Structure 1
Amino acid sequence: MVDLIPSLEELRSRPMAQQPQYPDPQAVEPVLAELRKRPPLVFAGECDDLKARIAEVAAGRSFMLQGGDCAETFESVRAADIRGKLRVLLSMAVILTYAAQVPVLKVGRLAGQYAKPRSKDTETRGGVTLPAYRGDAVNGLAFDAASRTPDPNRLLGVYNHSAATLNLIRAFVKGGFADLRAVHTWNSDFVRNSNVEGRYEAMADEIERALAFMVACGVDDASLRTVDFYSSHEALLLDYEHALTRIDSRTGTPYDTSAHMVWVGERTRQQDGAHVEFVKHIRNPIGLKIGPDATPAEVLALADALDPDHEPGRLTIITRMGAARIRTVLPGVVAAVEDTGRRVAWVCDPMHGNTFESSLGYKTRAFSQVVDELNGFFEVHRELGTWPGGVHIELTGDDVTECVGGVDELAEADLANRYETACDPRLNRNQSLELAFTIAEQLSRGRALRHNPVQEFHVEDF
């Protein structure tokens, strides 16, 4: 990979935030040597296909649904857990496609999201201080010295568990599980106990009737039975990402084969840092997360660094501003990037900017604030005449109680019932479906405005 991508030594000479501190730094080398020999987890052609699909999002012709666990764990790599997350994403995609009449690009926050940045290097409980949990890629969640000691051999576990997850997802989406005629069965084992479920079932009935009519007319396209589904995660652990970078035999260019899409996080987006330098050189579609303190000049400089050729589908900017600041900070950022003529995919992460600690000490998020940030995202893009290209959310298929509010009106006292996340709070199934209907209403409103015969709108209006 000489001259195609920086060496690890070159990357390590730059600011390299949020990396594990191994007790024996030399122990990582044989692990990386083994990873370099492993087969790729994804293929360059698949990454190119995703880039073309993201270009459709950036052009205002599609909407990206990106979601999954906050932090995957090795323990959660079980068929039931993976199926649960997949069926929630598929159910949300059906809501958006049918209710908003817009194609939906499905990207999982799956099969690689095993590392998490942390605001503090240590955690203290009962007078005992240990390294912070940084995800199963680095150390264990249990609060003891053995578990919390960073271990480079866990990187092999990341590879193995990612491969197993991808294998099962491919089987699900191509083997009949994603068949639209199964839209009811995706949720058949849940008790019908809320208005959002009733609304979903009513929509599913309409879809079934429409499909029956199409089949009766002789229309039975393969696209009704299978879906394209892509993987993504934060490119946080550069040793791992670098070891899984391969040179494509077709083009002679480097791809990070750990996922179809990787992103640079808010804590690692320093322009002179190792993370930005790494992703500059790979040919995958790239995500860039930005928070409320990012200035238009900073974002513009990063966009120039990551997408110097204004390549369609190359760059997705994922905003995590918080409900209180989205409407004041986002307009200047969007305008600065759009003025360059570059078409990026604008995606809203309404989760990370709205985290708080409950009165009982649980890290949580209020569903109302998640919705408020999303509404602000749509409002800003509507005012600027730009396309609100997608949503990035942390969710699970389980009936957890980690975020307050939503259709089930979860209160802070309910959090203790099933608080199961390894790191940040996730939306449960009902909250995810409710959010999908909210997004669909925003997209439908925009579509109606675009087709208003009285008032003229830009092509990019929604």
Structure 2
Amino acid sequence: MHVSTSSVTGELDAWRALPALQQPEWEDEAELRAVVEELAKQPPLVFAGECDQLKERLAAVARGEAFVLQGGDCAETFAGSTADAVRNKLKTLLQMAVVLTYAGRVPVVKIGRMAGQFAKPRSKPVERRGGVELPAYRGDAVNGFEFTAEARRNDPRRLLQAYHCSAVTLNLCRAFTTGGYADLRQVHAWNQDFVAASPAGRRYERLAGEIDRALAFMKACGADPEELHSVEFYSSHEALLLEYERALTRIDSRSGQPYDVSAHLLWIGERTRQLDGAHVEFLRHVRNPIGVKLGPSTTPEDALALAERLNPEGEPGRLTFITRMGADKIRDALPPLIEKVRGSGPPVAWICDPMHGNTFEAPSGHKTRRFDDVLAEVTGFFEVHRALGTHPGGIHIEFTGDDVTECVGGGHEIDEADLHQRYETACDPRLNRSQSLDLAFMVAELYRETH
């Protein structure tokens, strides 16, 4: 159904009259307006038809017929938008997906926390070191990580750089996922290398052997479908900077409906999910699939109200709830939310973010997470769904394809004394490649136990 452009524009700008949390204070308003006008002229990063396709895939997740693997950096950096860095993240995501696909016997929807995750909410607007106070680092789309007055200036021109780095990253992802790099046999060979080198490899040998025999059987049968050589890959980020998201919203020529073409899936963060806030108001009008982070303070009434506000027509695949409760809270906090939404709300896909509720500060001052806590939250998530007879729809993790030392534990044991060796994150601690693959094999075992 086509609607008038003026009414759509009015809906898309209604957020401006509401409280908008976590927005930077731009020093130069005229410069911001010029940047926004420039962004509005740029080509789309993704297309409406791709967003609709992802919505179909997420509808299958909500029905219990597929599983989501969503992951990538806590905060991307402009310097990290290189071919090597993107390839390593994508390689790790593909390796995890192969294991989960085989073990779960369901399609895995692969969504990168990539090509747009350049802004971060902060608990405090300023950072103090010694006697110096400067604006907090809000991600490369806003200011620089270095603790200097010049770097920490909120610079609107960085929004344009975020757009261009997103375009580069998406272009690389599309090339890698369709150009042979994602070939299933090659990805499985990488996993075999991992199993052989992993201290926990014995645990994974049986599953890796099953996959190996399945591929050999298909080859003997002459089966060589196109799906073995390329994969569907979708992009996502937190829709935090509303001026940026609004500037990249376009009216789809097919339907006359607005789509935010900065990513396939946008999510609303735990800090900005207020029902009467600007983020919920803006995203309820775009037709992309939408996610919402739900922390332990979420009430069943909050969850139901968000579901009804963001998906009033009950469109399958439109809404995903990403829970981030903490390993010690998941078993108590999650069931009432699922029961409330299942009882009277629209269809929802449930995904577990086991990272954000499990952060602590090591004696060295590094923010870190225990691998065992991450696994414990995922385990609790699966147990809750099994008890309720609902579908554990996926996991949302922060990881990198590099051998960093940011989270403690895992098969290649990292302890708190090791954190300083390669602590490279611009914000929160990420699982390294080995820890990510450890998690994939363990989640695969959990999925088999619950199905």
| TM score, norm. by length of structure 1 | 0.94
In structure 2, distance between residues paired with 1:180 and 1:202? 18
For residue 425 of structure 2, the aligned residue among 421, 425, 433 is 421
1:151 is matched with which residue?
155
CA change 1:421–1:104 in 2 (3 A) is same
Tell me if 1:350 matches 2:354. yes
AA partner of residue 85 (structure 2):
D
**Does the 8 A contact of 1:5 with 1:281 survive in 2?**
no
Tell me if 1:40 matches 2:44. yes
What SS does the corresponding residue of 2:112 show, helix, strand or coil? Answer: strand
Q: How far is the alpha carbon of 1:213 from its aligned partner? A: 2.6
For residue 15 of structure 1, the aligned residue among 11, 16, 19 is 19
In structure 1, distance between residues paired with 2:281 and 2:244? 15
Which structure 2 residues correspond to residues 196-215 of structure 1 after superposition, within 5 A? Answer: 196=200, 203-204=207-208, 206-215=210-219
What SS does the corresponding residue of 1:440 show, helix, strand or coil? Answer: helix
Tell me if 1:265 matches 2:255. no
**Does the 8 A contact of 1:5 with 1:282 survive in 2?**
no
In structure 1, distance between residues paired with 2:13 and 2:260? 18
- The superposition leaves residues 290-328 of structure 1 with CA deviations (integer Å, 9 ceiling, x where unpaired) of 100011111111111001011100000000011111111
Structure 1: unaligned runs, 5 residues or longer:
448-462
Deviates most, 294-303 or 52-61 = 294-303
AA partner of residue 383 (structure 1):
A
AA partner of residue 435 (structure 2):
Q
Tell me if 1:63 matches 2:60. no
For residue 335 of structure 1, the aligned residue among 336, 339, 342 is 339
In structure 1, distance between residues paired with 2:116 and 2:19? 23
For residue 282 of structure 1, the aligned residue among 260, 283, 286 is 286
Tell me if 1:402 matches 2:406. yes
In structure 1, distance between residues paired with 2:201 and 2:152? 41
- The superposition leaves residues 266-287 of structure 1 with CA deviations (integer Å, 9 ceiling, x where unpaired) of 0001111110000000000000
For residue 368 of structure 2, the aligned residue among 355, 358, 364 is 364
Tell me if 1:105 matches 2:109. yes
1:223 is matched with which residue?
227
What SS does the corresponding residue of 1:45 show, helix, strand or coil? Answer: helix
Q: How far is the alpha carbon of 1:8 from its aligned partner? A: 7.2
For residue 293 of structure 1, the aligned residue among 290, 294, 297 is 297
- The superposition leaves residues 171-192 of structure 1 with CA deviations (integer Å, 9 ceiling, x where unpaired) of 0000000001102554699796
AA partner of residue 337 (structure 1):
V
CA change 1:410–1:36 in 2 (3 A) is same
In structure 2, distance between residues paired with 1:219 and 1:193? 30
For residue 376 of structure 1, the aligned residue among 369, 380, 398 is 380
**Aligned-pair Cα RMSD in Å:** 1.7
- The superposition leaves residues 205-240 of structure 1 with CA deviations (integer Å, 9 ceiling, x where unpaired) of 543443233133121100011100000000000000
What SS does the corresponding residue of 2:224 show, helix, strand or coil? Answer: coil
**Does the 8 A contact of 1:108 with 1:230 survive in 2?**
yes
2:142 is matched with which residue?
138
For residue 236 of structure 1, the aligned residue among 225, 240, 243 is 240
In structure 2, distance between residues paired with 1:102 and 1:359? 42
2:435 is matched with which residue?
431
In structure 2, distance between residues paired with 1:226 and 1:411? 37
In structure 1, distance between residues paired with 2:430 and 2:145? 17
AA partner of residue 13 (structure 1):
A
AA partner of residue 236 (structure 2):
S
Tell me if 1:94 matches 2:84. no
For residue 253 of structure 1, the aligned residue among 254, 257, 260 is 257
Tell me if 1:84 matches 2:88. yes
Work out the percentage of aligned pairs sharing the same amino acid: 63
AA partner of residue 118 (structure 2):
Y
Deviates most, 112-121 or 202-211 = 202-211
In structure 2, distance between residues paired with 1:398 and 1:213? 33
